[in-house]
Amino acid sequence: MFGVTCQAQENLWWKTPTVSPEINSDKTVTFRMKAPKAIKVQVTGDFLPANGDKPGVAELQEKDNGIWEYTTPTPLLPELYSYSFIVDGLKTTDPSNVYLTRDVVTTSNIFLVDGPQSNLYAVNKVPHGTVSKVWFNCKTTGNDRRLTVYTPAGYEKGKDKYPVLYLLHGMGGDEEAWITLGRVAQIMDNLIAQGKVKPMIVVMPNGNVDQQAAAGYAPTGFITPTIELPHTMDGTYETSFPEIVKFIDETYRTNAKKSARAIAGLSMGGFHSMHISKENPDMFNYVGLFSASARFTGRTESPIYQNCEEKIKKQFAQKPALYWIAIGKDDFLYKENKSFRDFLDKNKLKYTYLETADGHIWRNWRTYLCEFSQLLFK
């Protein structure tokens, strides 16, 4: 048992062998890794130009003491970037950067190059809201399900009732996706402090009906599920959604009216937002489709996916304050969005449209959240 003790004591040494990444004063970025036995050390990430359909890769050079180093040849534009190292072909995280984010099954490090937009993703000297992991008992699925809830600074001590934004993740995501990769708490803290966004509650449920919670927080344990196709886009989640709204209205000081409710989601979460809002035309006054899978057909013949055109016309007849659609020019769902917009145009159903560069990436979804949230509850 002596060995176990010493092993634990080693962990008290909290100094890593090198600093990485280092954001230099000219906004170039230096990556370093101690790997004395390695033959080849590379870095890959969305800060590098892509190589055809593959992510860019750059080689680190070995310096003294087995420390490998790479500095970007030019300054990086302000943004939140993800990266990983590749040591002799094996992808690994940066041991000098203990903050990790997970995108489905890929764990990466992130870093921030400061600028007016990316500064919204940083923890700044502003009042901070609370981020809670909450469970609710869902009758539709017959089990307990985990939600992430952001309440704005001042919620606990005040008496105000707040509007609510329901914010839905994409396929492969879960209740952790928006709060980590989407930087929801930082974006809300910063935009509320700047007076650009109304203080609101943001609810981020788990949209995979097979999962009670993200890996590590579910009764199924710690191991990554190897699910062939998630049990989703089959109507169940959409059917259960009013239960989530009811739970939130019973649990938090919400303004429990259509005028104070928004729903938005990315990719599959956009699909869910479209169907949930059309099934409940009296529930949401604001709808946001971010790079949405904007199709009327699900994976089943669920009643949710029947008579969609008629239901959407009925939803618009009740005049939602905002129906907002955003997508990048390179998104693989661009064509699907175009068809949906054609349907809306043909029927003179009024929506707001934002077209950006790039594709189906978190950089866009963070930007869309910043834009959309400023239009809510005003």
> To the nearest whole angstrom, how small is the minimum distance from the Cβ of residue 135 to a second copy?
4
Q: Which amino acid is at 199?
A: P
Give the whole-angstrom CA distance, residue 263 versus residue 131.
19
Q: Report the residue from 43, 110, 287, 304 that binds a second copy according to the rule CB under 8 A.
A: 110
Q: Between 207 and 320, whose beta carbon lies closer to a second copy?
A: 207
Q: Report the residue from 175, 234, 279, 331 that binds a second copy according to the rule CB under 8 A.
A: 331
Q: Which of residues 244-283 bind a second copy (CB under 8 A)?
A: 250-252
Q: Between 42 and 285, whose beta carbon lies closer to a second copy?
A: 42
> To the nearest whole angstrom, how small is the minimum distance from the Cβ of residue 274 to a second copy?
19
CB 333 within 8 A of CB 340: no
> To the nearest whole angstrom, how small is the minimum distance from the Cβ of residue 133 to a second copy?
5
| Tokens encoding 192 | 């509320």
Q: Which of residues 184-223 bind a second copy (CB under 8 A)?
A: 213, 215-219, 221-223
Q: Between 37 and 346, whose beta carbon lies closer to a second copy?
A: 37
If you ran DSSP here, which 8-state letter would residue 2 be given? H
Give the whole-angstrom CA distance, residue 102 versus residue 214.
11
Q: Which amino acid is at 95?
A: P
CB 322 within 8 A of CB 316: no
Q: Site size for a second copy, by CB under 8 A? A: 101
Peptide bond just before 21 cis, omega within 30 deg: yes
Q: Say whether residue 305 binds a second copy (CB under 8 A).
A: no
| 350 alpha carbon, distance to own chain's centre | 27
Task: Draw the binding track, 344-363, toward a second copy (x: CB under 8 A; -: no contact).
Answer: -------------xxxxxx-
Q: To the nearest 10°, the Cα dihedral for 274, 275, 280, 286?
A: -10
Q: Say whether residue 38 binds a second copy (CB under 8 A).
A: yes
DSSP character string of 335-360: HHHHHHHHHHHHTT---EEEEESS-S
Q: Report the residue from 58, 71, 79, 87 that binds a second copy according to the rule CB under 8 A.
A: 87
Q: Which of residues 1-20 bind a second copy (CB under 8 A)?
A: 1-9, 11-16, 19-20
Q: Which of residues 147-176 bind a second copy (CB under 8 A)?
A: 153, 156-157, 170-172
For residue 263, the SS3 value is strand
Q: Report the residue from 30, 93, 255, 302 that binds a second copy according to the rule CB under 8 A.
A: 93
For residue 311, the SS3 value is helix
Give the whole-angstrom CA distance, residue 47 versus residue 111.
10
Q: Report the residue from 59, 115, 314, 332 that binds a second copy according to the rule CB under 8 A.
A: 332
Q: Report the residue from 75, 95, 242, 281 that binds a second copy according to the rule CB under 8 A.
A: 95
